[in-house]
Amino acid sequence: MASATGVAIEGVWKFFGDYPALRDISFTVDRGACLALLGRNGAGKTTLLRILAGLSNPARGRVTLLGKEARAVETRRRIGVLGHGIGIYDELSAFENLRLFARLYGLENPPKIAQDWLERTGLDRVQDGLVREFSRGMRQRLAVARAFLHNPALLLLDEPFTALDDRAIRVLQQLLEEARSRDCTIIMSTHQLREALELASDVALINRGRLAFRGERSAEMLQDPAWLYRNYGEA
């Protein structure tokens, strides 16, 4: 029987030189939950998300995603990552980019999957155009398609709404709602408190590398998004 825990973080430390960017972070996220990972700039949100995505190893501690190690192939097959960079090749066309990642994720019929996602994100008309010729909004929609094309069971999103145009925001919101409806676990770091809290079921606040708060999203957080920072953030 599958564990109810989607993500388990146990005693994670990360150092940059002598500076501890993460200090003994421990918490769990249930499967199907949506966690808003909050914190000021430099708090350690991106560092934690990079460790969860298997892009960096913790100095100490352990991370388990969907019951397996973060770097296990089976885990990576089931996670979708959308970071600060779009992770898309400028010298390839939109179609070639999505087909490449569909192949790397071992999906059946990569050309069809690439085609389907180009249609879903409204990029089918420019599918053979090189990404370097795309507008910023088109590139962002392509990045969203890349992160979602394998229907991940866990989504790790680092500032997903930052610098998105209105169309890309609509596409992302729709995909997140669909992901939630199929019990996908979501961890999303963001500064856009209201949007994040409306979507989230859980909240974690990181303050200077330490976990300052972890709990369910409450009604008072929705009414006053700054409440969390006032009560648990640094002065």
Please count the residues of this chain forming the interface with other proteins, following the rule CB under 8 A.
31
Residues in the chain: 235
Only one of the segments 10-18, 30-38, 49-57, 223-231 lies at the binding site for other proteins (rule: CB under 8 A); that segment is: 49-57
Is 4 a binder of other proteins (CB under 8 A)? Answer: no
How many CA atoms lie less than 13 Å away from 38 in the CB half-sphere? 29
Q: Judged by CB under 8 A, does residue 217 bind other proteins?
A: no
Q: Does residue 92 bind other proteins (CB under 8 A)?
A: yes
Q: Out of 95, 101, 148, 229, name the contact with other proteins by CB under 8 A.
A: 101
User: Whole-angstrom Cα distance, residue 65 to residue 35?
Assistant: 14
Question: Which of residues 16, 62, 104, 183 is near other proteins by CB under 8 A?
Answer: 104
Amino acid at 148: F
User: Which structure tokens are listed for 71?
Assistant: 């770097």
Q: How far apart are CA 84 and CA 215, in angstroms?
A: 26
Q: Which residues of 82-96 are buried (b: 16+ CB within 10 A; e: fewer)?
A: bbeebebeeeebbbb
Give every CB contact of residue 226 below 8 A, 6+ residues apart in sequence: 193
Please say which residue, 59 or 169, places its beta carbon nearer to other proteins.
59
Closest distance of CB 150 from other proteins, Å: 9
Residue 28, H or E segment: strand 19-30
The distance of closest approach from Cβ of residue 98 to other proteins in the complex, given in angstroms and rounded to an integer, is 12
Residues 130-169 that bind other proteins (CB under 8 A): 130, 146
Query: According to the binding rule CB under 8 A, does residue 91 interact with other proteins?
Result: yes
Q: Which is nearer to other proteins, 49 or 211 (CB)?
A: 49
Binding of other proteins at residue 129 (CB under 8 A)?
no
Pure H helices in the chain: 45-52, 73-77, 94-104, 110-120, 136-148, 166-181, 193-199, 219-223, 227-232
Q: Does 69 bind other proteins (CB under 8 A)?
A: no
89 lies in the site for other proteins, by CB under 8 A: yes
Closest to other proteins by CB, 14 or 217: 14
**Phi and psi torsions of 201, nearest 5°:** -100, -20
Task: Pick from 6, 39, 54, 160 the residue near other proteins by CB under 8 A.
Answer: 54
Binding site for other proteins (CB under 8 A): 50, 53-57, 71, 73, 76-77, 79, 81, 83-92, 96, 100-101, 103-106, 130, 146
